[in-house]
Amino acid sequence: MPDKTIKLYDTTLRDGTQAEEVSFSVEDKLRIARCLDGIGIHYIEGGWPGSNPRDAEFFERMRKEKPAFSRLVSFGATRRAHVKAGKDTGLKTMLSSGAPAVCLFGKSWKLHVAKALRVSLDENLEMIHDSVRYLKGRVGEVFYDAEHFFDGFKDDPEYALKTLKAAEEAGADYIVLCDTNGGSLPFDVQRIVSEARAAIAVPLGIHAHNDSETAVANSLVAVKEGAVMVQGTMNGFGERCGNANLCSVIPALKVKMGIDCISDERLKKLRTASRFVYELANMPHLRHQPYVGDAAFAHKGGIHVSAVVRSPETYEHVRPELVGNVQRVIVSDLSGKSNLLYKAAEYGLDISSKAEVVQNLLHELKSLEHQGFQFEGAEASFELLIQKALKRRERYFKLLGFTVIDEKTNEDVPPRSEAAIRLEVNGVVEHTAAEGNGPVNALDAALRKALYRFYPSLKKVRLIDFKVRVVAGAEGTGARVRVLVESGDGVDKWGTVGVSENVIEASWQALVDGLEYKLYKDKVKRDRT
């Protein structure tokens, strides 16, 4: 088993977005793709370019990206019935995406052939064969997803295997067995994967849904029976009950089964990646999620704490540091400090010798997190927080006050928003006003208008994304909210965060951090030259 090579295939950006509460903008998808590349995912399924404008734009934008490790995959269906592959618009769109690999799905279950496609069994086989052969001659790698394979196999094993052989004969690089309805149990998967492995020579993959709470187990059993590719999503996002959770699959393969599917250093980024995807999905992090959740290595007290202090193995199945998590014992100061030092090192900041600074920063970080701040997806705010603790943070302006007016004069007329602001910059008081598309936009416009003559480089800064999320909803419309802002200057992109019961105040915090980070970044660049 340890000698086996396993390819990790992420479909968060396609299958994951089919979850009821999940929606990603194009910018979100680009950021997640970079994140997945950073943790060493072999294949990133970007979406179905022919199905919606958002996916089409994503693939167009990805032409300018150069992933360091991952390969981008375009997704789509077999050709339409009674249409030649070369004239099928869906297949052409997959190829036009520019992705170096494509994933094609087709029907394995006679029920779907008859009810969904409404074609003969032979025509379905021809659709699979023609589509794979057409794509294989025009793109580097072709993956065939055998949709509903396990249900199809239970219904008619002979026909289900014929669909795989059609893809094999056409030249598919991988054939992926899909438990699309998520109803199979591990012993079903074990038997059926074994029979499929005996019938075809093409490398097999597994794509499991979680409707029976067995997607991770099914994926691992499939690997044990010969599958060499695992498809899944970050945090198990996916339609209905979700997909196989790669945040559980990856450490199980690496740590439990001894399969070197990801490097040790990249495995340590798994928790950060999980939280990053939650933040961009505008969803709360699942505390009790295995491996990467806040409670995954938490010990409340009594016998457990006493034993874990002596030997972590007594109540921990793996070391939390392997997946970038931390052990939470008693106050967890030690773990918090280690995590803080690790993050500081990512920014090139050596604070390991400044014990007092670390303790003060740790205390402030805990206080901020208690208030609702989260720094996944807000790396710039976190770096500015470290600079503040080191007494290096430079304040480029001082707020003297602002007023925001949101006026609606008639039921049929859109509201009018205006902001006035007073700042002190290098001893000079600047008083400006601006209108905007809503109060936050007006405040942002007034702030920039006041600063441009002092800091011209801020003209390059653009707000790329803006998210608002209620931290705790018990207070209704008076609840505390978290605002996450992504900014960019055409060269770099960075995230900032603000938290308050007042959405304008929370937005102000995030906007100010975004502009100050640009000025801080410019200063660092000047100092280095």
Three-class secondary structure assignment of 191-256: HHHHHHHHHCCCCEEEEEECCCCCHHHHHHHHHHCCCCEEEEEHHHCCCCCCECEHHHHHHHHHHH
User: What's the one-letter identity of residue 382?
Assistant: F
The percentage of residues in the chain with a pLDDT greater than 70, rounded to a whole number, is 92
Q: Token pair of 368, please?
A: 């901020």
Residue 224, CA distances (Å) to 178, 190, 191, 206 in order: 16, 8, 11, 11
Report d(CA 278, CA 299) in Å as an integer. Answer: 24
43 belongs to a structural domain: yes
In the prediction, which pLDDT does 331 show?
Answer: 31
Contact 207, 176 (CB under 8 A): yes
Report the domain count for the chain: 1
Contact 483, 491 (CB under 8 A): no
396 belongs to a structural domain: no
pLDDT tens, residue order, the chain (529 aa): 555 789 999 999 999 999 998 999 999 999 999 999 999 999 999 999 978 899 999 999 999 998 999 999 999 999 999 999 999 999 999 999 999 999 999 999 999 999 999 999 999 999 999 999 999 989 999 999 999 999 999 999 999 999 999 999 999 999 999 999 999 999 999 999 999 999 999 999 999 999 999 999 999 999 999 999 999 999 999 999 999 999 999 999 999 999 989 999 999 999 999 999 999 998 988 989 999 998 898 776 556 666 766 778 888 899 999 999 988 653 333 335 555 665 666 566 666 655 677 777 777 877 887 788 887 778 899 889 888 888 888 999 999 999 999 998 888 888 999 999 999 999 999 999 999 999 999 999 999 999 999 999 999 999 998 999 888 766 677 788 999 999 999 889 899 999 999 999 999 999 999 999 999 999 988 888 7
Three-class secondary structure assignment of 1-39: CCCCCCEEEECCCCCHHHCCCCCCCHHHHHHHHHHHHHC
In the prediction, which pLDDT does 330 show?
Answer: 35
Contact 272, 259 (CB under 8 A): no
In the prediction, which pLDDT does 253 show?
Answer: 98
Residue 442, CA distances (Å) to 81, 106, 408, 451, 461 in order: 54, 50, 15, 14, 16
In the prediction, which pLDDT does 313 show?
Answer: 81
Q: Token pair of 356, please?
A: 């007092």
Q: Token pair of 247, please?
A: 């945040």
13 belongs to a structural domain: yes
* H or E element at residue 146: strand 141-147
Residue 246, CA distances (Å) to 180, 250, 312 in order: 17, 6, 25
* H or E element at residue 345: helix 333-346
56 belongs to a structural domain: yes
The CA-to-CA distance between both ends of the chain, in Å, stands at: 51
58 belongs to a structural domain: yes
Task: Report which of 157, 465, 333 is spatially closest to residue 341, judged by C-alpha positions.
Answer: 333
Beta-sheet pairing, 462-470 with 481-488? antiparallel
User: What's the one-letter identity of residue 422?
Assistant: R
Residue 323, CA distances (Å) to 5, 342, 366 in order: 20, 13, 21
What's 486's DSSP letter? E
146 belongs to a structural domain: yes
347 belongs to a structural domain: no
In the prediction, which pLDDT does 335 show?
Answer: 39
Contact 520, 394 (CB under 8 A): yes
In the prediction, which pLDDT does 295 show?
Answer: 87
Residues 6+ apart with CB under 8 A from 107: 78, 113, 116, 117, 124, 128, 147, 148, 152, 163
301 belongs to a structural domain: no
For position 146, which CATH number holds?
Answer: 3.20.20.70
Report d(CA 305, CA 241) in Å as an integer. Answer: 34
Report d(CA 468, CA 479) in Å as an integer. Answer: 12
Query: What is the domain extent for residue 111?
Result: 7-262
Contact 193, 221 (CB under 8 A): yes
Task: Report which of 321, 291, 249, 296 is spatially closest to residue 12, judged by C-alpha positions.
Answer: 249
Strand partners, 429: 424
Tens digits of residue pLDDT in 142-173: 999 999 999 999 999 999 999 999 999 999 99
Three-class secondary structure assignment of 397-449: CEEEEEEEEEECCCCCCCCEEEEEEEEEECCEEEEEEEEECCHHHHHHHHHHH
